[in-house]
Amino acid sequence: MEDNYLISVIVPVHNTADYLRKCVDSICNQTLKSIEIILVENLSTDQSADICDEYARSDKRVKVLHLSEAGLSIARNEGLKVASAPYVGFIDSDDYIEPTMYQEMLDAIELYQADFSYCNYVLDFDYKESVFPFRNSGSVELCSREDFIRDMMWEKISCSVCTKLFKKSFFDAREFPVGRLYEDRLVMHEWVLTCTNIVWVDKSFYHYIERLDSICHTITPINYYHYFLSEFSRVEFVNRQGLFKDKELCEVQTMMLRICFSIFKDIMLRVEPGDFREPINDMRHRMKELFPLLKKGELESRCYKKLWKIIYLWPVYRLIHYNKFKRNRI
């Protein structure tokens, strides 16, 4: 007879042997014991695969999938296929959680019959002191999807699925986008639109380990490009949905487009002229398509002018900034 678990926790694993034990131990030692732990290991070249198998032998709640294809989204999607519990959570294998996280998140989601519950996080750095970004009042509050999206766009809430506990049915018609980085940032705002109830547990349960060698901190043109795509999807979403009005719309669109400009400029300065042509052209094309949809007053004037220059004065804009960058490096 199989165990009837309350929560399935999916942990994608790839070359995180130095952090994996602390991560898995933090799940195994939850005050809520009815947890199915699904370790999805894919193409690790360190001891991660062996560590996963070791936990499966010592704790019957642990299942291990060994994949022959790498990718965070692939691992999460495969984990969802075998998850047996009515609720599902996700943890990155270099992070860890507080002992009462899933009990309190489950209590909140059941109390309000919510689509998902979410909590706060702590930033634990390898190279400096931890940062606690939230007030952590301990309250449990119902949140509308509009307020959740608004706070997420203002970076008051993490878009990561790792700080959330979902009804398993939330993923019945959804999967994580394969082949994309920053996948949570790319899709979470769209997914929330279908939710009825969302509940916030105002406690910092999740510990993000900020490593200089993690994917999100690896500075390459392709990583920057994927971050641009995720951020630009948010700009298009805000422009399309009408959740923000007047001054707030101007401020939030300006904030997000400035991030896009910064990414675009960083890519432009890191590659030689003629290299990385398709992604650069794609970014310009996306901004050009958005430009006519922006009404007067929906962007700060300086931001609007920069967008215009990138679209219509590209050769001159690139030459000026690239040459200035090269001179400063000499």
Q: Which domain holds residue 173?
A: 7-213
Find the distance separating the first CA and the last CA of the chain, reported in whole Å.
70
Measure the CA–CA gap between 328 and 124, rounded to whole angstroms.
34
pLDDT digits over 19-48, tens only? 999 999 999 999 999 999 999 999 999 999
Tokens encoding 13: 């694993």
Q: What average pLDDT does this structure show over 191-198?
A: 94
- 175 within domain boundaries: yes
- 81 within domain boundaries: yes
Tally of structural domains, the chain: 2
pLDDT digits over 108-145, tens only? 999 999 999 999 999 887 766 666 677 788 999 999 99
Measure the CA–CA gap between 141 and 156, rounded to whole angstroms.
15
pLDDT number for residue 250: 85
Residue 217, pLDDT > 70, answer: no
252 and 299 belong to one structural domain: yes
User: What percentage of the chain exceeds 70 in pLDDT?
Assistant: 88
- Coil, helix or strand at residue 93: coil
209 and 224 belong to one structural domain: no
Q: For residue 97, what pLDDT band results from cuts at 50, 70 and 90?
A: very high
Domain boundary among 213, 228, 251: 213
pLDDT number for residue 12: 98
205 and 259 belong to one structural domain: no
Strand partners, 199: 117, 142
pLDDT digits over 246-288, tens only? 888 888 888 888 888 888 888 877 787 678 889 988 998 888 8
pLDDT number for residue 1: 34
In terms of pTM, does the model score above 0.85? Answer: yes
Measure the CA–CA gap between 328 and 283, rounded to whole angstroms.
26
Q: Quick check: 295 and 244 in contact, CB under 8 A?
A: no
- 35 within domain boundaries: yes
Nearest CA to 85 out of 25, 155, 153, 170 is that of: 170
